[in-house]
């Protein structure tokens, strides 16, 4: 019998340190994932379909822009946002991606840098899930170096004319609103493009092997006329998009723990019931060492995420700390998913089991929002003072 006083997915009892409100948030998202995501996600992945029908339910639980104050947003703390991401990604990284982009990459910058009119126009509808947002930073020639973006906006009278393209944009083809970052004569600025603006098109990227239950698109801008009132007035420079990435990477550091937990949970059941050489798979030393290693990795990821939440609440979070956590936790989750896939044997490549789906998703998650190398180099730069990018 396993030790009944320990939760194998929470060996250091993180949950016991949560407040009642934090537990309630975690439980309600967990219920939504169990009842509404898990029953359909395998098919969505196979069919390459984002389950858009879940958006009103995500909104009804207050999960869109959950940490923002006002405008119909829930105003939850940083830890709650982390727990939301963790529970959603236990279902699928694609669902967490949707919420990350809507909340951290589109609503957050409007809240932080938008005019009063922009906040009133967009945020309540986005919190209700009636308006979907996307975030266009990456370009086809190289996403790791956004300072070198080619998309350009020139001022014409009081308006702007935007030309260029963006690549790999989550929610792109279903978005009502695209926050597009473009170079201008004064530096990088954020432009709020609405669906249907002349010269603005989105093209779905089909045939992905990863994040198949998520929409990914390319965006094209051909002399798009953007009125002055659609430019974010509160920020100029790369720090605008990078500050949004800090919010979203924080959520990813939490989210991937959920994916890893889902894989380990399934493997624990499987290894207990599968019998080989006259004993259960779980009875073998080599298997136990691998299970213990997974639990160690999950526990370390949880402790990093928890301290990250405390630093965020305190307002002292440094982007380098977020880089280290995003790197560590994505690497841990991907290694766990791959190892679970292996320990399931042939069954590990079947759609009946979750690890291969999580593993394939995590190949994107370790790449987007800054690749593993980019985060390693950010930490290296902080340690040495030398910019090695």
Strands (E), the chain: 133-136, 152-156, 159-170, 177-184, 187-194, 200-204, 216-226, 275-276, 279-280
Count of alpha carbons within 13 angstroms of residue 378, beta-carbon side? 21
DSSP state string for 290-334: HHHHHHHHHHHHHHHHHHHHHHHHHT---HHHHHHHHHHHHHHHH
Tell which one of 138, 246, 302, 329 touches ligand FAD (CB under 6 A): 138
Tell me whether strands 279-280 and 275-276 are parallel, antiparallel or unpaired: antiparallel
Classify the phi-psi angles of 65: left when phi > 0, otherwise alpha if psi is within -120 to 50, otherwise beta. Answer: left
Using CB positions, name the residue nearest to ligand FAD: 143
What is d(CA 226, CA 160) in angstroms, rounded to the nearest whole number? 5
Tell which one of 40, 161, 225, 374 touches ligand FAD (CB under 6 A): 374
- Count residues near ligand FAD (CB under 6 A): 22
Contact segment (CB under 6 A) with ligand FAD among 57-65, 140-148, 282-290, 302-310 equals 140-148
Cα distances (angstroms) measured from residue 12 to each of 3, 16, 157, 303: 13, 9, 60, 8
Cα distances (angstroms) measured from residue 179 to each of 173, 222, 285, 371: 13, 16, 52, 21
Residue 373: contacted member of ligand TGC, ligand FAD, none (CB under 5 to 8 Å, by partner type): ligand FAD
142 near ligand FAD (CB under 6 A): yes
Residue 369 annotated among the catalytic residues of the structure: yes
Closest distance of CB 374 from ligand FAD, Å: 6
Contact segment (CB under 6 A) with ligand FAD among 257-265, 313-321, 324-332, 368-376 equals 368-376
Task: Pick between residue 115 and residue 367 the one whose CB is nearest to ligand FAD.
Answer: 367
Closest distance of CB 389 from ligand FAD, Å: 5
Tell which one of 101, 123, 153, 337 touches ligand FAD (CB under 6 A): 101
Rule CB under 6 A: which of 149-168 touch ligand FAD? 168
Q: How many helices (H) and strands (E) does the chain have?
A: 12, 9
Give the residue from 52, 75, 32 showing the smallest Cα distance to 176.
52
Residue 319: contacted member of ligand TGC, ligand FAD, none (CB under 5 to 8 Å, by partner type): ligand TGC
| φ, ψ at 246 (rounded to 5°) | -60, -40
Closest distance of CB 266 from ligand TGC, Å: 23
Element (H, E) at 78: helix 78-91
Contacts of 147 by beta carbon, 8 Å cutoff, 6+ apart: 188, 238
Contact segment (CB under 6 A) with ligand FAD among 11-19, 40-48, 148-156, 363-371 equals 363-371
373 near ligand FAD (CB under 6 A): yes
Number of Cβ atoms within 10 Å of the Cβ of 354: 25
Contact segment (CB under 6 A) with ligand FAD among 11-19, 131-139, 232-240, 270-278 equals 131-139
Give the residue from 260, 148, 117, 242 showing the smallest Cα distance to 190.
242
Token pair of 331 as six digits: 């690497």
Closest distance of CB 138 from ligand TGC, Å: 5
93 near ligand FAD (CB under 6 A): no
Contact segment (CB under 6 A) with ligand FAD among 48-56, 125-133, 138-146, 311-319 equals 138-146
Give the residue from 182, 173, 183, 85 showing the smallest Cα distance to 133.
173
Q: Exactly one of 46, 53, 369, 372 is catalytic; which is it? A: 369
Tell which one of 114, 143, 240, 258 touches ligand FAD (CB under 6 A): 143
Residues interacting with ligand TGC, by CB under 6 A? 97, 100-101, 135, 137-138, 143-147, 170, 237-239, 242-243, 245-246, 248, 319, 368-370, 374, 378, 389
Residue 136: contacted member of ligand FAD, ligand TGC, none (CB under 5 to 8 Å, by partner type): ligand FAD
Could you give the residue numbers annotated as active site?
369
Contact set with ligand FAD (CB under 6 A): 101, 135-138, 142-144, 168-170, 211, 216, 364, 367-371, 373-374, 389
């Amino acid at each position: 019998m396993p030790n009944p006083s320990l939760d194998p997915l929470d060996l250091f009892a993180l949950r016991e340190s949560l407040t009642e409100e934090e537990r309630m948030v975690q439980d309600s998202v967990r219920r939504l994932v169990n009842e509404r995501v898990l029953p359909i996600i395998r098919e969505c992945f196979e069919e390459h379909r984002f389950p858009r029908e879940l958006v009103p339910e995500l909104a009804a639980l207050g999960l869109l822009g959950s940490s923002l104050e006002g405008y119909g947003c829930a105003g939850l703390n940083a830890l709650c946002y982390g727990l939301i991401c963790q529970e959603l990604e236990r279902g699928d990284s694609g669902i967490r991606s949707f919420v990350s982009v809507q909340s951290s990459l589109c609503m957050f910058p409007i809240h932080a840098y938008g005019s009063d009119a922009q906040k009133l126009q967009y945020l309540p509808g986005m919190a209700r899930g009636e308006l979907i947002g996307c975030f266009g930073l990456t370009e086809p020639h190289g996403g790791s170096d956004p300072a070198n973006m080619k998309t350009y906006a020139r001022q014409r009278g009081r308006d702007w004319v935007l030309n260029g393209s963006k690549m790999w944009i989550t929610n792109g083809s279903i978005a009502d609103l695209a926050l597009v970052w473009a170079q201008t004569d004064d530096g990088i600025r954020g432009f709020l493009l609405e669906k249907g603006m002349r010269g603005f098109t989105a093209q779905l990227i089909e045939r992905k092997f990863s994040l198949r239950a998520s929409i990914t698109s390319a965006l094209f801008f051909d002399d798009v006329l953007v009125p002055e009132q659609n430019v974010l007035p509160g920020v100029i420079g790369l720090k605008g998009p990078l500050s949004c990435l800090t919010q979203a990477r924080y959520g990813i550091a939490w989210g991937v723990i959920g994916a890893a937990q889902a894989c380990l949970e399934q493997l624990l059941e499987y290894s207990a019931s599968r019998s080989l050489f006259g004993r259960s798979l779980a009875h073998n030393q080599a298997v136990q060492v691998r299970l213990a290693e997974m639990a160690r990795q999950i526990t370390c990821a949880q402790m990093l995420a928890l301290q990250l939440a405390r630093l965020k609440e305190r307002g002292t979070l440094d982007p380098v700390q977020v880089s280290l956590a995003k790197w560590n936790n994505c690497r841990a989750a991907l290694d766990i998913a791959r190892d679970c896939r292996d320990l399931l044997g042939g069954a590990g490549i079947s759609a009946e089991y979750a690890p291969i789906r999580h593993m394939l998703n995590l190949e994107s998650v370790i790449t987007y929002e800054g690749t593993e190398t980019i985060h390693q180099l950010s930490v290296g730069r902080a340690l040495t003072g030398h910019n090695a990018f």
